[in-house]
Amino acid sequence: MTSRLLAAALWILPVATTSAADEPRPNVVWIVVEDMSAHFGCYGEKTIETPHVDRMAKEGVRFSRAYVTAPVCSTCRSALVTGTYQTAIGAHHHRSGRGSEKIELPAHVELIPRLFQRAGYHTSNCSWPPRNKVSKTDYNFEWDPAVYDSGNWADRKPGQPFFTQIQLRGGKLRGHGDGDQWPATVKKTLGSVTKPEDVPLPPYYPRDEVLLEDWAQYLDTCRYTDHEVGRILDRLKSEGVLDNTYVFFLTDHGVSHVRGKQFCYEEGMHVPLVVRGPGLEAGTVRDDLVVHVDLAASSLAFAGIEIPEHLQSVDLFASDYQSRKYVVSARDRCDETVDRIRGVRTARYKYIRNFHPQRPYLQPNAYKDNKPIVRRMRELFAAGTLNEAQSLQMAETRPPEELYDLGSDPWELRNLAEDPAHADTLAAHRGHLAEWIEKSGDRGRTPEPASMYDSDMAVYLKALRTRRPERLEEIQANIDLMKKWAAEGK
């Protein structure tokens, strides 16, 4: 039995039976970052330095193949906090259940912080630095706010163990590719900014000044996030609890870009995952396929809390751990834009099923269409200046299936789905997806009811009348188009 498992076993013994049971139970911290891929030194990023996340990797375990169950925030976070796929609990549409039509969790599903509370833990959900109120949740279902005791683990009772989520803004910090205030903040905090001319871009993006400036600002969000991680670790150390705390570092999905957020390519669904804590072998690198919901079972096990049978999460550090043959990421409706995409990642291949192949990749979506990088890509495509790789995401229709050999094609540029030489591989991955849909209970098989869509759109439009009235006409036109395409069977 490993030292970690032995400790867990002792923590759940009755207090009077052994002096070892009087040892403090471990704390668990989830650092959850928005809109960021694995652009850190320990993952091979060379343009910038990220010493604090890199130190976490040296002191703990780095997962090289960690994925989210959804490449957009609210669905991903709904899965993370329940330890189940968002598609299994009806929370798979981004920002859903926000209007008059509500989404209720199945009776047997409880939020992970509630399980920690019941075991005597103080639970908190913090911004950084922590404030008095609970930070970002963004769950697509009805839930009891009392699952979080506060917005700061400092509020716990003396000696009480704590479970906390720390929400970092990550990629959302960057400006709009036109200067803005973000570079000034970076220079003041970190002493310098990343130069656009030094930035390497994936081959599916042109070396255009708008995209280069945006990517440079994005890399500075990675540097700034790393700085925040250092401050978090310093606080835990100054409080004397770092050595008894399991710290998880991950992001809620990949970078918000044309081929990233909202899509099931590596840029959208592959994320960093680093864990440090007592009993974990320093400097370990694991290449097994894992999904972010696995934090649930792993964290409960660290605390010696029984893992509910319904969890679609596995303890990554269990003595009987068995690695997954594949992982799945699911994209469904995002804001007003209706879609259904499933991505299956195996050790070597990526299989993507597009359930709306007659629609363009970049369907109208106000959130993305108002990003300067997306507008610029559309301009360059219209001008005919993009090469074949850079034009992939601009197509007006999609293949029903995509298959990529990530060993020889890590950028997912050569679709092998119609290559006879890969027919067996294609069939195997179809089988993986069919198996997952059935076993996980993928509710995306049934279209979202019109009443739910209209309910959520009413909330969306109401908010825009106050915050962004200039976008009302655009979004209403997108809503009308979604309904028109649905009526046409498109």
Average per-residue pLDDT in the chain?
94
Residue 61 half-sphere exposure, CB side, CA atoms within 13 Å? 19
State pLDDT tens for residues 246-264.
Answer: 999 999 999 999 999 999 9
For 352, the enclosing helix (H) or strand (E) is: strand 349-354
Q: Residue 7 above 80 pLDDT?
A: no
State pLDDT tens for residues 444-475.
Answer: 999 999 999 999 999 999 999 999 999 999 99
- In sequence order, the β-bridge partners of residue 246 are 28
Q: What phi, psi does 291 have (nearest 5°)?
A: -120, 155
Asked if residue 416 is part of any domain, the answer here is: no
Cβ atoms 127, 135 nearer than 8 A: yes
Asked if residue 104 is part of any domain, the answer here is: yes
CA–CA separation, 327 and 290 (whole Å): 7
State pLDDT tens for residues 301-333.
Answer: 999 999 999 999 999 999 999 999 999 999 999
How many other C-beta atoms lie within 10 A of the C-beta of residue 272? Answer: 25
CA–CA separation, 82 and 75 (whole Å): 11
Q: Residue 12 above 60 pLDDT?
A: no
pLDDT at 365: 97
Q: What is the CATH number of the domain that holds 194?
A: 3.40.720.10
Per the structure block, which two tokens stand in for 363? 């369907």
Cis status, amide bond into 129, omega within 30 of 0: yes
- The sheet with strand 401-405 has its strands ordered as 327-331, 341-345, 349-354, 401-405
Q: What phi, psi does 32 have (nearest 5°)?
A: -115, 120
Average pLDDT for 37-42: 98
Q: Residue 6 above 70 pLDDT?
A: no
CA–CA separation, 152 and 162 (whole Å): 10
Asked if residue 283 is part of any domain, the answer here is: yes
State pLDDT tens for residues 328-376.
Answer: 999 999 999 999 999 999 999 999 999 999 999 999 999 999 999 999 9
Q: Residue 20 above 50 pLDDT?
A: no
- In sequence order, the β-bridge partners of residue 62 are 274, 285
Q: Which domain holds residue 267?
A: 3-318
Asked if residue 452 is part of any domain, the answer here is: no
pLDDT at 22: 65
Residue 217 has what DSSP assignment? H
Determine how β-strand 162-168 pairs with β-strand 27-33: parallel
Asked if residue 193 is part of any domain, the answer here is: yes
Domain count, the chain: 1
pLDDT at 5: 43
CA–CA separation, 68 and 82 (whole Å): 14
Cβ atoms 291, 407 nearer than 8 A: no
Cβ atoms 42, 54 nearer than 8 A: yes
Average pLDDT for 86-106: 98
Q: DSSP states of 77-99 as a string?
A: HHHHHHTS-GGGTT--STT-S-S
For 73, the enclosing helix (H) or strand (E) is: helix 73-82
Confidence of residue 17 (pLDDT cuts 50, 70, 90): very low
State pLDDT tens for residues 405-455.
Answer: 999 999 999 999 999 999 999 999 999 999 999 999 999 999 999 999 999
State pLDDT tens for residues 161-206.
Answer: 999 999 999 999 998 655 679 999 999 999 999 999 999 999 999 9
Cβ atoms 21, 13 nearer than 8 A: yes
State the amino acid at position 223 in one-letter form: R
Asked if residue 54 is part of any domain, the answer here is: yes
Asked if residue 8 is part of any domain, the answer here is: yes
Asked if residue 470 is part of any domain, the answer here is: no
